[in-house]
Amino acid sequence: MEKKVMPVIMVSQEKALFFGKKFRRIAFLLRNVSPGLDSSLLEGGINIPGVDYLAAGILISFMLAILLLLVGVLLALVAAQRGLLTTQLLSILSLLVIVVPAVYFVYFANYPKLQAAKRKAGIDEKVVFAIREIMIKVGSGVPIFNALLDVSNGDYGIVSAEFKVAVEEIQSGVSQEEALTRLSRRVPSPSLRRSIDILVNSIKSGSDVHGTLILINDMLIKKQQSDMRTYAAELTPLSMMYMLISVVLPSLGMSVFIILGSIAHFDVLYIIYILPPFLLMFEIFFMGMIGSRRPAVGV
């Protein structure tokens, strides 16, 4: 099993999977927390059944709740001895015992989707170069299997790793078409999945594989160029929003607040204190949004 394929805490993932089997019934009832979990696990490169994965998450969340409960009881006892125990403090401690494990479980259940998205970005960045190498090798007379073998040994990141699995399956006796079909099913990238499906259909029909690879290569390049144009079009309104909030609001906005404050006789000092943290959070949020929207391209 792969290392660090689950966001486990306090215990190793092997122990979490082993002892988590006792929670399989609860995991089966909670499977709707993350729809399509099995496919997300497959696309995220996590070779664990969905029910077992959720059961491990339930186990760790339960352990986290017990740990927080013990810490909360200890804090409550210390506060009671010092005369600081209040209803509000008990409410906050009780809320932490419930909310923190629940938030962790939701994150645990959706972690495979995050991994699948990360793998998709890594594949989309290298898929054009990998397909282009196969196209060149096949066009020069190299058998398709040898071309796949060269790509699996190449420096194409996740793409090379997936092709290596397919090559090992072919060497173990699986047909070339079946191994490529399995590859298509487990990758999260629609571009690579569609390219493999077209290649498999070409091999099965006995048509010109090299010509098909040329069409696939052109299709991938046009797709990535289209994604970049779409991304560039999205940047225009986003940049206007950035200028409005980070430039116009601090300058003209403060002037307006000062004028209104002098008229309405309220202290604008609080706004001056609040504005810098707000702008900092906005900068962090904006940079994260821009980075997440940028398409992973290799052209």
- DSSP assignment of 121-155 equals HHHHHHHHHHHHHHHHHHHTT--HHHHHHHHHTSS
Q: Is 8 part of any domain? A: no
Do 146 and 195 belong to one domain?
yes
Same domain, 22 and 112: yes
Which of 70, 103, 118 terminates a domain? The answer is 118
Nearest residue to 2 (alpha-carbon basis) of 49, 48, 43 = 48
Is the per-residue pLDDT at 147 higher than 50?
A: yes
Whether 107 and 141 share a structural domain: no
Q: What is the pLDDT of residues 170-217, one digit of tens each?
A: 999 899 999 999 999 888 888 899 999 999 998 888 888 889 999 998
- Does residue 132 lie within any of the structural domains? yes
- Is 4's pLDDT higher than 70? no
The reply to whether 148 and 114 lie within a common domain is no
Same domain, 96 and 171: no
257-285 pLDDT, tens digit each: 777 767 766 666 666 667 777 777 887 87
Instruction: Count Cβ atoms below 10 Å from residue 95 Cβ, excluding itself.
Output: 11
Per residue in 51-66, pLDDT (tens digit) is 999 999 999 999 999 9
Total count of domains within the chain: 3
d(CA 182, CA 160): 15
> What band does 295 get if pLDDT is binned at 50, 70 and 90?
confident
Q: Give the whole-number percent of the chain exceeding pLDDT 90.
A: 24
Two tokens, residue 230:
């779409």
Q: Residue 262: which domain range?
A: 234-293
> Do 146 and 100 share a structural domain?
no
Provide φ and ψ at 85, rounded to 5°. -75, 125
Q: Which long-range CB contacts under 8 A does 253-261 form with residues at least 24 apart?
A: none
Q: Kindly state whether residue 2 falls inside one of the protein's structural domains.
A: no
Residue 32 has what pLDDT?
Answer: 76
pTM: 0.73
In whole angstroms, what is the distance from residue 105 CA to residue 111 CA? Answer: 10
| Mean pLDDT of the residues in the chain | 84
Residue of higher predicted confidence among 251 and 197: 197
126 plus 62 within the same structural domain: no
- If you ran DSSP here, which 8-state letter would residue 32 be given? G
Domain match, 105 and 20 both = yes
- Say if 258 falls within a structural domain: yes
pLDDT bucket at 76, cuts 50 / 70 / 90 = confident
Q: Indicate whether 190 and 258 sit together in one domain.
A: no
User: pLDDT category, 2, cuts 50, 70, 90?
Assistant: very low
Confidence at residue 167, expressed as pLDDT on a 0 to 100 scale:
92
**Locus of tokens 């290298």:** 126
Distance from chain centroid for Cα 83: 47
In a domain, 225, yes or no: no
Burial label, 27 (beta-carbon count in 10 A; 0-12, 13-18, 19+): buried
Residue 161 is assigned to a structural domain of this protein: yes
pLDDT of residue 11: 84
Name, in order, each residue with C-beta under 8 angstroms of 78's C-beta and a sequence gap of 6 or more.
Answer: none
pLDDT band at 1 (very low <50, low <70, confident <90, very high): very low
Angle separating helix axes 144-152 and 87-139, nearest 10 degrees: 140
DSSP category for residue 279 = H
Distances in Å between the Cα of 298 and the Cα atoms of 128, 131, 227, 277, 288 are: 7, 12, 11, 37, 21
Residue 299 lies in a domain: no
Residues 38 and 86 both lie in one domain: yes
Last residue of a domain, one of 220, 250, 266: 220
In tens, the pLDDT along 90-130 reads 888 888 889 999 999 989 988 998 888 888 888 888 889 99
Does residue 51 share a domain with residue 78?
Answer: yes
Question: Is 7 a member of any domain?
Answer: no
Q: Which of 118, 133, 166 is the last residue of a domain?
A: 118
Q: Single out the residue of 193, 215, 190, 200 nearest to residue 144, CA to CA.
A: 200
In a shared domain, residues 130 and 196: yes
- How far is residue 255's CA from residue 50's CA, in Å, rounded to a whole number? 56
At 297 the three-state DSSP class reads coil
